[in-house]
Amino acid sequence: MHTFRSSADLAAALANETANNLRAGLNDTGRASLIVSGGRTPLQFFAELAQTDLDWSGVDVFLADERWVPINSERSNAALVKRHLLHGRAEKAVFSPLYSDTQTPREAAARLTLHLANSRRPFDAVILGMGGDGHTASLFPDAPEIGSALGAEAASAMVLTPASQPELRLSLTPSALTNTRFLALHIEGPEKREVFEKALELGDAEEMPIRAIMRNDIQQTQVYWCP
C-alpha cells in the first residue's frame, strides 16, 4: 500500500505514475489508453492529471462504469470526467462515453465489448475506486448479475441491475479491468481502509467484488491511500 499524508500528495503521486504509464504506451505504439472511475474521490487526481504535459491527442479515455443516464445528468460519470479531467492539456484526449441515447444498455455493452476487443491491449492505466460495500466500478454485491460479471468468461462490459441503486449500470468487468500495464485502487479515509483490510480476508468475491480485482493473476493492484 502506498500511503500519503494528504489527498494532495496522493493525487500528485498517482497522477505522476499514471502519466508515466501513458507515456510508455505512447512511446510503444503512438497511442495510450486510460480507464477512470467516477465519484468525488478522484477529483483532485483528475485536476493533477489534466495538467500533465503529454500528447493527450494520442490518449483514449474510457470509463470503468456508468449510470444509465444522459450525459447531461448530474449523476453522469461522463459529465464528471468531462468537467474535471478533460480540460486544459487533457482536453485533446479522445473520450468514449458509455451511455448512448440511440442504443439500449445491452446494445451499448455489446458495442463496448466489441470495441475493446478490437483495441490495443493491455490498457496503459486503470484507476479504480471502492465503495463501503466493497464494490468497484459498478460491480455491486447486490446485483443479480454479479456472479456472471466476475467470471473468467465474462464479456468485457456488462449491464448490472443492483437493487441498492436507482439506475441500472454499465460496467467493465474484472477480465477487462485487470488487463492493464498499471492497475491502481484509489481510496481515502479510515473507513475505506477498514473495508480494504476486510477485503484482504478470506471470503467470496461476490460478497466484496473488489476481491476479484485484488486476487487477479494478471496485474498486481497498487493501492493508494491517505487518511
Largest CA distance in the chain: 45
191 CB-contact burial (10 Å; exposed 0-12 / middle 13-18 / buried 19+): exposed
69 belongs to a structural domain: yes
CATH number at residue 37: 3.40.50.1360
Would you state the pLDDT for residue 91?
98
195 belongs to a structural domain: no
Would you state the pLDDT for residue 34?
98
d(CA 125, CA 178) in angstroms, rounded, equals 10
Q: What is the DSSP string of the chain?
A: -EE-SSHHHHHHHHHHHHHHHHHHHHHHHS-EEEEE--SSTTHHHHHHHHT--S-GGGEEEEESEEESS-TTSTT-HHHHHHHHTSSGGGGGSEEE-S--TTS-HHHHHHHHHHHHHTS-SSBSEEEE---TTS-BTTB-TT-TTHHHHTSTT--SEEEE--TTSSS-EEEE-HHHHTSBS-EEEEEESHHHHHHHHHHTSS--TTTSTHHHHHT-SSSPEEEEEE-
> For the stretch 24-43, what's the b/e string if a residue is b when 16 or more beta carbons lie within 10 angstroms of its beta carbon?
ebbeeeebbbbbbbbeebbb
100 belongs to a structural domain: yes
Cell numbers 479491468: residue: 177
Mean pLDDT by groups of 10 residues along the chain of 227 residues: 98 99 97 97 98 98 98 96 98 96 95 90 97 98 98 96 97 98 98 98 97 95 98
38 belongs to a structural domain: yes
211 belongs to a structural domain: no
d(CA 225, CA 121) in angstroms, rounded, equals 27
Beta bridge partners of 128: 185
216 belongs to a structural domain: no
Residue 185: phi and psi, rounded to 5, are -115, 120
127 belongs to a structural domain: yes
Would you state the pLDDT for residue 119?
85
How many domains does one find in the chain? 1
Would you state the pLDDT for residue 75?
97
28 belongs to a structural domain: yes
Would you state the pLDDT for residue 185?
99
Domain that residue 99 falls in: 2-166+175-190
